Amino acid sequence: MPISLVTPEFEVLRDQTRCIKCRVCERQCANKVHHLDPDLGVMVSDEASCVDCQRCVTLCPTHALKIRVNENQFRPNANWSQQTIKEIYKQAETGGMLLSSMGNPNPLPNYWDHLLINASQVTNPSIDPLREPMETKVFLGKKPRSIKRLPDGSIDTSLTPQLELSMPLMFSAMSYGAISYNAHESLARAATELGIYYNTGEGGLHEDFYKYGPNTIVQVASGRFGVHEAYLNAGAAIEIKMGQGAKPGIGGHLPGAKITEAVSRTRMIPKGTDAISPAPHHDIYSIEDLRQLVYSLKEATNYTKPVIVKVAAVHNIAAIASGIARSGADIIAIDGIRGGTGAAPTRIRDNVGIPIELALASVDQRLRDEGVRNDVSLVVGGSIRSAADVVKAVALGADACYIGTAALVALGCHLCRSCQTGKCNWGIATQQPELVKRLNTDIGTQHLVNLMTAWQHEIKEMMGGMGINSIEALRGNRLMLRGVGLSEKELEILGVSYAGE
């Protein structure tokens, strides 16, 4: 084999004066970067396979390790960046598509960072959430256009099924298979404890997790993996996944190595075979087909579950959302270009789709222009990184946010973006039992509960500052936002004024 042209991305710096040769780095690295050299009597590292997941750095008891970007430089070239050149080497050597995972790492404009939140001064009071009630409860689902009265004149309070959330946050779809049993268990338990929902993704629902059904959204995607009647009825809602922000327009591919015995049983496919979801649903080639699937699922569950339709944010998202709103869907979920994934072709992840902020703003406005905003709830995802992003999303018009990456980070993910290798050192995006057990579900659950609770506190604090004591009064309240560093066109699409206006 000729030499590889791909040079290591990272270097491992070891402070030999600190290293006590406990070999924890060696034992914890699934990529086999470190080992004890018996002849030299010191720990050494082969950085070629290092993905900078920080597992060794975090566990090193004497803080002897540091990983940094390899300082080795190709001859600088603004047009042909080192990254570009390396990608060409990789493709020249393999002949394959480049694969990546997690969200788009490129410096696309991040509109959350260009939106600023309002606060009360003088003319109305801010409200202290520590002293006054501050409500973050949200109901997702279709709302009727008018009330009906019973013969005695009282209001008919029957309503199509709704999801009740203690705060406007849900864990987004991540399949069992893409992520581990322990990651799934942590999400399920945390969602239950928090009074929110997690999402099975397209990998079916492991038999152990049916007990978390009341806080589970079961997904039906183009591969229909793990979909059967009991599955559909197990969850609180059903999500039809039409697309994903990280890879709009294409399907999914879970390599056979991840299809273990349990994953195979859950997905209802043979062990060790690749799980390939087609790009489209082959029974949905148009909007009227979607309507049929929505109602098939409603029939299958006796109209007891709201149906979510999840789409990737693409160029004509407003028209698409408007069509979905008329398809019988109760909730529309939109995933932006920065959304995460367990594996996606790099070119697609980095170049297809639009940012969630713009998609959300235009969808919310379009649904209002057409008078159908109350017919559906709007959930957005695709790099919601903090409570501030949540507040901004709700003010732009979202009913709730899906968080995926942030939840995984709470479980220990360091965004090394190597999920597709299946060798996640943090026990998240892997099916290897020795790696999976690294994620203690008690700790995982607690971290997720802590993160969401912390965000909820921050959301309440920001709402109180604006003089708003219930989240519904923030929804679509774009007057609470101002833009900085944005063009007039961007402001127009976002529907916000410039700071100072």
Partner 1 sequence: MELEGQVRIPSGCAISAVVSKDLRPISGETVIKSMIPMHDRSNGLGGGFAGYGIYPDYKDFYAFHIFYDSRKAQEECEKYLKDHFEIVQAETIPTRKIPEINDVPLIWRYFIIPLTSQMLRLQVDEKEYTARCVMYINVHLDGAFVFSSGKNMGIFKAVGFPEDVGRFYQLDDYEGYEWTAHGRYPTNTPGWWGGAHPFGLLDYSVVHNGEISSYDANRRFIEMFGYKCTLQTDTEVITYIADYLLRKQKLSLKEMSSVIAASFWDTIDHKDPQEAKVQTYLRKIYSSLLITGPFSIILGFNGGLMALNDRLKLRSMVTARKGNTVYIASEEAAIRAMEPDVTNLYAPAGGEPFIVLTDEYEKEV
Partner 2 sequence: MKRVYVNEQWCLGCHLCEYNCAYANSPKAGQGLYGMVDALKDKPIFPRITIESTDEDASCADPSQTAISYAVQCRHCTDPICVKSCISGALHKENGTVVIDHDKCVGCFTCILVCPYGAITHDDTGAVQKCELCLKNTAGKPACVAGCPNAAIVFEER
Binding site partner of 20, from partner 1, partner 2, none, Cβ cut-off 5-8 A by kind: partner 2
Residue 140 CB, shortest distance to partner 2, in Å, is: 35
Nearer CB in complex with partner 1: 377/418: 377
Residue 303: strand, helix, or coil = coil
Q: What share of the chain is helix, strand, coil (3-state, %, to 5)?
A: 35, 15, 45
Regarding 322 and contact with partner 1 (CB under 8 A), the answer is no
Please choose which of partner 2, partner 1, none residue 23 contacts, taking the beta carbon within 5 to 8 angstroms, the exact cut-off set by kind: partner 2
Residue keyed to tokens 């993905």 = 51
Question: What does DSSP assign to residue 145?
Answer: S
Per DSSP bridges, beta strands 331-335 and 307-312 are parallel
Q: Does 270 bind partner 1 (CB under 8 A)?
A: no
Candidate list 4, 13, 18, 128; residue touching partner 2; CB under 8 A = 18
Burial environment of residue 105 by CB neighbours within 10 A (0 to 12, 13 to 18, 19 or more): middle
By CB under 8 A, name the one of 23, 137, 271, 347 that touches partner 2.
Answer: 23
Binding to partner 1 in span 5-34, by CB under 8 A = none
Q: Which of 4, 16, 304, 374 binds partner 1 (CB under 8 A)?
A: 374
Residue 11, beta-bridge partner list: 68
Residue 492: contacted member of partner 2, partner 1, none (CB under 5 to 8 Å, by partner type): none
Q: Does 433 bind partner 2 (CB under 8 A)?
A: yes
Which of 282/437 has CB closer to partner 2?
437
Identify the CA nearest to 101 among candidates 422, 455, 467, 448.
422
* Burial call 231-248: b when 16+ CB within 10 Å, e when fewer: bbbbbbbbbbbbbbbbbb
Counting contacts by CB under 8 A, is residue 448 touching partner 2?
Answer: no
Report the SS3 class of residue 331: strand
Please say whether the beta carbons of 218 and 310 come within 8 A. no
Q: Does 373 bind partner 1 (CB under 8 A)?
A: yes
CB of 434 to partner 2, least distance (A): 5
Of these partners, partner 2, partner 1, none, which one is at the site of residue 87 (CB under 5 to 8 Å by kind)?
none
The Cα–Cα gap between 301 and 414 comes to 39
Residue 17 touches which of partner 2, partner 1, none (CB < 5 to 8 A by kind)? partner 2
**Cβ atoms of residues 342 and 429 within 8 Å:** yes
What DSSP character marks residue 176?
B
Contacts of 354 (CB under 8 A, 6+ apart): 313, 314, 315, 317, 336, 337
Among 233, 477, 490, 491, binds partner 1 (CB under 8 A): 477
Nearer to partner 2, 292 or 446 (CB): 446
457 binds partner 1 (CB under 8 A): no
| Contact set for partner 2, span 46-65 (CB under 8 A) | 58-59, 61-63
Of 130 and 147, nearer to partner 1 (C-beta) is 147
Is 29 a residue that touches partner 2 (CB under 8 A)?
yes
Q: Under the criterion CB under 8 A, does residue 101 sit at the interface with partner 2?
A: no
For partner 1, the binding residue among 21, 23, 27, 137 (CB under 8 A) is: 137
Subset of residues 302 to 321 that bind partner 1, contact rule: CB under 8 A: none
Does 129 sit near partner 1 (CB under 8 A)? no
A 10 A CB-CB count for 450 gives 12
Q: Is residue 362 within the footprint of partner 1 (CB under 8 A)?
A: no
Our finding on whether 68 is near partner 2 (CB under 8 A) is no
- 490 CB neighbour count, 10 Å cutoff: 17
Q: How far is CA 391 from the centre of its chain?
A: 17
Distance CA 97, CA 104 (A): 16
Q: Which residues of 151-206 form beta strands (DSSP E)?
A: 163-165, 169-171, 198-199
Cβ partners under 8 Å of residue 377, min gap 6: 139, 140, 141, 142, 330, 331, 332, 399, 400
Residues forming contacts to partner 2 in the complex (CB under 8 A) are: 17-24, 27-30, 32, 58-59, 61-63, 257, 431-435, 437-438, 440, 442-443
Residues forming contacts to partner 1 in the complex (CB under 8 A) are: 120, 123-125, 127, 132-133, 135, 137, 139, 143-144, 146-147, 154-155, 157, 159, 162, 368, 371, 373-374, 397, 466-470, 472-480
